[in-house]
Structure 1
Amino acid sequence: MDKFMESKWFMRILALLLALLLFTSVHDSQSLFKNRKSSAGEATVQMPVVLYYDEENTVVSGVPKTVEVTLSGPNNLVEFAKSSKDFSVYVDLSNAKIGRQRVKLKTKDLSDKLQAKISPSVVEVSVQEKVTVEKPVSAEFNSDLLAEGFEAGQPTVNPKTVKITGAKDIVDQISYVRAALNVNKQINADLTKNAWVQVLDRNLNKLDVSVDPATVDVSVKVNNPSKTVPITVNPTGSEKDGVVIDSISTEPKSVTIYGRSDVLKSIDALTLDVDISKIDKDTDLSVPLKTPKGVNKLDPGSVKVKVKVRDKIEEKKLSNIKVSTEGLDDNYDLEFLSPPDGLVDLNVTGTSQALDNIDEHDFDVFLDLSGLKPGDHDVNIEVKGPNDISWELSSKKAKIRLTEKNQSNA
């Protein structure tokens, strides 16, 4: 056996077998490659549409931005075209006439070994004359954006006009060219902001046109109207016992209010409530002012209030006070003709404190009869009493009769 393996014939047979094995392996690989290369494939891809037209003088509408393209052919070429998108889909309207027309979409730079199915393959387009017009821009501003109490003037735009370019039939539909001022906070000061220009038809539909410039500056003047009104004091609560509010004054006596003109027009004074229920002496207060509805600011926001008080004056009646006499001659007898029995009433006036303990013993009610002779006399009734009390007699004069005692005894 060893000798056979070492022989020339063995080596020749082994070489032949290896050659046959190598040939079979290579042949199978080539066949597999050819099968893969020649197998059919299909793929769908979205492609943009390239439009060729007279851009200077015409406007085209109706051409879709993208279309669906189904590729079929050798699988390797399909996969390559799908991933690289090395071809294009186009519509050529370079020589198209004005008006509506149906046109076919075509491919360009696609391998001749591939088939392309475009969907849609035909579209209806409109070729219109391109026109440019100049239109004024109206500014729009929502007054609800104003902070409370503020007013705005008419908004303005800069530049005042824009150039609008588009198909003639579209341009003829223009009804509104406007720029709206949009903000996301309340406005309390002059404002200028860039805004997009909108071109709309009469139904407020946006039109497919180009605008130059596309944006404008919208400005609005904002102000906070003001008015100076007097302060009117309104005492609230009840006076404390024994005192009377003599006066209430404010410093300053007027206030400046800020708000919308229609609100200010209805305000002629600002009422200030002052609670007097706890005040029993002259008092200085700092009182905040209450902001009326629709007013956004007060200047000043609070005022100094001076309250002056005085003791409450009351009345008291002392009845049947006996009128005494002074200077009566011992030789005379006295008879009261009026008031009867020589009794009077005394109406006294004073503070509560002064009147609390006052009675008839605090007063000396008398007649000064010095030097009077017998007969009938009208004599002033005199009163002496406390200094902090005033009074009034029920009768200011007494009618008396003086007689000599001997005569009266007879």
Structure 2
Amino acid sequence: MDSWFQSKWFVRAIALVLAVSLYFVVYTEDDKERKDIDFFGNTSETQTMEDIPVSVRIDADKYVVSGIPESVAVTVEGTNSAVTRVVKQRNFDIYVDLTKLGEGEHTVEMQYERFPEDVAVFIEPKTIDIVIEERSTQKFPITVDFINQHQLPEGFEVGDYQVEPKEVMITSSKSVIEKVSIVKVFVNVAGQDEPIKNREVPIKVYDSQGNELRVRMEPENALVSAEINNPSKVVPVTLETTGKLPKGFKLTSMTSDVEEVEIFGTSHALADIDEVKAKVNLSKIKKSDQIQATLDLPKGITAPEHEQIDVSIELEQTKLLEEVPIQVRHLENDRTIEFKKPEGKKVNVTITGNEADVRNVKVDDLRISIDVEGLVDGTHQVKPIIEGPEQLAIKPELDHFTIKIN
């Protein structure tokens, strides 16, 4: 043993072994700290890209395929620089190659191309189940559905409309074509008060259960034009009263300044309307006057030019004037008169006439008298003489007065 240590070659061999061992120990620890730094100093990295579209390679003139996802997730692994370049540029293609397959059900593998050789590529899902069917093309008529008609301005409605084109060419598998039940476009008319001119809307295809079908269409959009109408009709105005007049008043006439009005609404709402009413509340009327009345319009009906109308009211009023003095004509100076009925040489008088004529009449405006010329002493029944405004009916509370002359 001592002779080995004395040999310079033995010592050199031992030193070499120790040096190599030390190198691997240091390299391993340093490698962990640097997180997989490679020979060129690049960090290893993994990134996943979501929603990567999938292309299909198939004889599109002959076949259609179902079961292809719209997008997949692609994970790339490699050096930092290589992965970053792939993620930023995305100059690659994810596809399924069906060119060698015929009709029927198949399980195929997702494929890729144009990735750098120094990155690893993983696609999720890796395989998919697809169905290849013979292509079929058929024409279908396009229907129009006007949505949110309840949000049209009050009284407006959709009138005549046109859609271009009237038909759409749909291409898909025979089985899908057989499921097509409805082909329509939706036109939103909320708040619309003007005609729609060539509005472009997408065409939708549904089965009998209302499920939207994914098919190829030519064209994919249609142009819709539609009239937005505000129908109207002219109807007579009738006046209707509510409430009661105050005591002592009677309605003699009530006329409006318009005999008919033009009303607006949907055709359905207008169909059953033959007249419109204006209501006048009599309980608030105390004199002959011109008032404004609001038209009583059904819901959804408007009359822009006559929201209110003028109504002329004529009232008859009956008014009691108390203790109107009674004058005596042709009573001789040496004789006296005593009133039995009414007592006190005064009488209550009722006047009736147009309220405008009655309202300002006072006791002083009337003259009630009796003529006793030629009457002898004793008790007599005499008829009063009435004087006052000619347009009024004046009636004392008694048709005849009872008097006594002495």
TM-score (norm 2): 0.64
What's the counterpart of residue 387 of structure 2? 386
What's the counterpart of residue 232 of structure 1? 239
Amino acid in structure 1 at the alignment position of 2:170: I
Q: 1:127 aligns with which of 132, 135, 139?
A: 132
Q: 1:171 aligns with which of 167, 177, 200?
A: 177
What's the counterpart of residue 102 of structure 1? 107
Is 1:272 the counterpart of 2:275? The answer is no
Indicate how the Cα distance of structure 1 residues 279 and 253 shifts in structure 2: closer, same or farther if over 3 A, else same.
Answer: farther
What's the counterpart of residue 39 of structure 2? 36
Indicate how the Cα distance of structure 1 residues 316 and 52 shifts in structure 2: closer, same or farther if over 3 A, else same.
Answer: same
What's the counterpart of residue 351 of structure 2? 350
What's the counterpart of residue 165 of structure 2? 159
Unaligned runs of 5+ in 1: 1-33, 327-341, 370-379, 397-410
What's the counterpart of residue 406 of structure 1? none
Amino acid in structure 1 at the alignment position of 2:351: G
Indicate how the Cα distance of structure 1 residues 60 and 250 shifts in structure 2: closer, same or farther if over 3 A, else same.
Answer: same
Q: Secondary structure at the match of 1:171?
A: helix
What's the counterpart of residue 191 of structure 2? 186
Q: 1:61 aligns with which of 39, 62, 66?
A: 66
For residues 294-345 of structure 1, the C-alpha deviation after alignment (integer angstroms, 9 at most, x for no partner) is 3233432232333334553659999xx9x9999xxxxxxxxxxxxxxx9888
Q: Secondary structure at the match of 2:192?
A: coil
Indicate how the Cα distance of structure 1 residues 230 and 368 shifts in structure 2: closer, same or farther if over 3 A, else same.
Answer: farther
Is 1:301 the counterpart of 2:304? The answer is no
Amino acid in structure 2 at the alignment position of 1:106: Q
User: How many pairs are equivalent?
Assistant: 338
The whole-number CA distance in structure 2 between the counterparts of 1:324 and 1:108 is: 135
For residues 164-191 of structure 1, the C-alpha deviation after alignment (integer angstroms, 9 at most, x for no partner) is 11222222211111111114x4233443
- Offset at residue 362 of structure 1 (A): 3.9
The whole-number CA distance in structure 1 between the counterparts of 2:158 and 2:92 is: 58
Unaligned runs of 5+ in 2: 1-36, 332-338, 353-357, 376-380, 402-406
1:308-319 correspondence to structure 2 within 5 Å: 308-309=314-315, 312=318
Q: Secondary structure at the match of 1:59?
A: strand
TM-score (norm 1): 0.63
The whole-number CA distance in structure 1 between the counterparts of 2:264 and 2:114 is: 73
For residues 99-122 of structure 1, the C-alpha deviation after alignment (integer angstroms, 9 at most, x for no partner) is 221223334345566654444332
Contact 2:329 2:371 in 1 (8 A): yes
- Offset at residue 196 of structure 1 (A): 1.4
What's the counterpart of residue 363 of structure 1? 369
**Percent identical:** 23
Q: Secondary structure at the match of 2:39?
A: helix
Amino acid in structure 2 at the alignment position of 1:268: E
Indicate how the Cα distance of structure 1 residues 91 and 355 shifts in structure 2: closer, same or farther if over 3 A, else same.
Answer: closer
Indicate how the Cα distance of structure 1 residues 56 and 315 shifts in structure 2: closer, same or farther if over 3 A, else same.
Answer: same
Is 1:254 the counterpart of 2:260? The answer is yes
For residues 25-53 of structure 1, the C-alpha deviation after alignment (integer angstroms, 9 at most, x for no partner) is xxxxxxxxx96149995634546544321
Amino acid in structure 1 at the alignment position of 2:219: P
Indicate how the Cα distance of structure 1 residues 277 and 225 shifts in structure 2: closer, same or farther if over 3 A, else same.
Answer: closer
Indicate how the Cα distance of structure 1 residues 50 and 269 shifts in structure 2: closer, same or farther if over 3 A, else same.
Answer: closer
What's the counterpart of residue 6 of structure 1? none
